[in-house]
Amino acid sequence: MSLAASHPLRAHGTSSSRLVRALMGTRPEVVPVWFMRQAGRSLPEYRRLRARAGSMLDACLDPDLASEITLQPVRRHGVDAAIFFSDIVVPLLLAGIEVEIVPGRGPVFARPLRTGADIAAATRIDPALVLERGERVADAVARTTGELAALSHERGESIPLIGFAGAPFTLAAYLVEGGPSKDHLAARRLIHEDPVAWRSLVEWLAALAGAFLVLQVRAGASAVQLFDSWAGGLAPADYRRAVLPASAAALDPVRALRVPDGVELEHVPLVHFGVGTGEILADMASIGVDGIGVDHRVSLRDAVARVGREVTVQGNLDPALLAAPEPVLDAAVGSILADGLAARAHVFNLGHGVPKETDPAVLTRLVRTVHEWRAV
């Protein structure tokens, strides 16, 4: 399937944005920067909106709210890309899985998938429902990209929207446990106890995630990131055998989309990110992604040595440093930017999400610092 000529990659020039150029291997003069979880619990304007928005999932499925929350950090901080405001469980919700995001805890499922029979019943749900029921998500994306086009005109630099989805293992970890877990023991156990059921589950979740990514790209996202928050809890051999093929499958539907005629890209840029994944970075990069997210536990130089120079690195400031004195923060930022020169290109980001207690002024100053930095 081809993306429409009206897609932002062509119509809004996002294919030549700093972010997209960096992800595709061309190092822009100014290092692009965005923040994970940037829509941020740290912004007072976000908290004011959320206070009257009902539940988290209500906000995710309200096109006006989701769009406005996505745009807030772009206006406030001057970042080079927006990350769509949603949640990794939204495709499950669209597919009819009962889930609630409990404040202070996270996603909780009414019916955990704890047996082969549970998994068999769930995986009979058609992943195409994500596309069929995703009108409000697509509406939010389209509204956002329209606003980003206007902001791009004011700024003189194209600002793309990044779509995202949760990776199959992270989604499975929540589903099998019934909610958040410190060790994801139930999911790890299922890999070994019932490998057939496990494979069925992650293949189905890959189809759901892929549909959710395609939904966002068709509506206007110019790049996508697959988040695997809990993959770092797996032994590398188990990750390669039981998880990585499903992660690759989640990205395949986006890879198959044809970019609009006149856009000099082979495909929509793909980023793969996980937490605590230093030992499996090379595996994560091996599935044909353009960018690899690196958390703060591994230096970018070490990451490049592991993944090679055929992929862009993204990261990787420790979020804790956002509370450090300015000289300490500046030194850390300078070190990361210098390390990023080891890669073909670098997208500055945190090693994980923005902590909710972060002073927004620190993030704004950080963006300016990154933009003003030049290699000596």
pLDDT in tens, 173-231: 999 999 988 899 999 999 999 999 999 999 999 999 999 999 999 999 999 999 999 99
CA dist., res. 89 & res. 80, Å (int):
26
pTM for the predicted model, two decimal places: 0.97
pLDDT at 238 over 90: yes
State the pLDDT confidence band at 358, using cuts at 50, 70 and 90.
very high
CA dist., res. 72 & res. 79, Å (int):
10
Catalytically annotated residues:
37, 41, 50, 87, 174
Ranges 43-57, 95-109, 320-334: which has the least confidence: 43-57
Q: For the chain, what is the mean pLDDT?
A: 95
CA dist., res. 115 & res. 102, Å (int):
24
What separation in angstroms does the CA of 258 have from each of 5, 18, 128, 141, 252? 11, 21, 19, 19, 12
What separation in angstroms does the CA of 198 have from each of 89, 118, 179, 195, 248? 19, 11, 17, 5, 16
pLDDT at 39: 60
pLDDT at 303 over 90: yes
State the pLDDT confidence band at 52, using cuts at 50, 70 and 90.
confident
Ranges 33-47, 129-143, 327-341: which has the least confidence: 33-47
**2 or 253, which is more confident?**
253
Q: pLDDT tens digits for 258-289?
A: 999 999 999 999 999 999 999 999 999 999 99
What is the mean predicted confidence (pLDDT) over 59-63? 95
- The end-to-end CA distance of the chain, in Å, is 44
Q: Please tell me the total number of residues recorded for the chain in this structure.
A: 376
Contacts (Cβ under 8 Å, ≥6 apart) of 322? 329, 350, 354, 355, 358, 359, 362, 363, 366
CA dist., res. 234 & res. 274, Å (int):
11
Coarse DSSP helix, strand, coil percentages of the chain, rounded to the nearest 5 percent? 50, 10, 35
Domain chopping of the chain, boundaries: 8-372
Bond preceding residue 349 cis, omega within 30 of 0: no
- CA torsion 148→150→156→157, rounded to 10°? 10
What is the token pair recorded at 222? Answer: 């110019």
Q: Which amino acid does the sequence have at 80?
A: D
pLDDT at 37 over 80: no
What CATH number should be reported for the domain whose range is 8-372?
3.20.20.210
pLDDT at 320 over 80: yes
pLDDT at 103: 85
pLDDT at 40 over 70: no
Write the DSSP string, 269-303. -EEEEESS-GGGHHHHHTTT-SEEE--TTS-HHHH
pLDDT at 50: 84
Helix or strand holding residue 190 (H, E): helix 185-193
Contacts (Cβ under 8 Å, ≥6 apart) of 289? 251, 270, 271, 272, 311
- DSSP β-ladder status, 312-317 and 291-293: parallel
What separation in angstroms does the CA of 210 have from each of 157, 187, 252, 261? 29, 21, 7, 23
Residue in 193, 217, 286 with CA at minimum distance from that of residue 247: 286
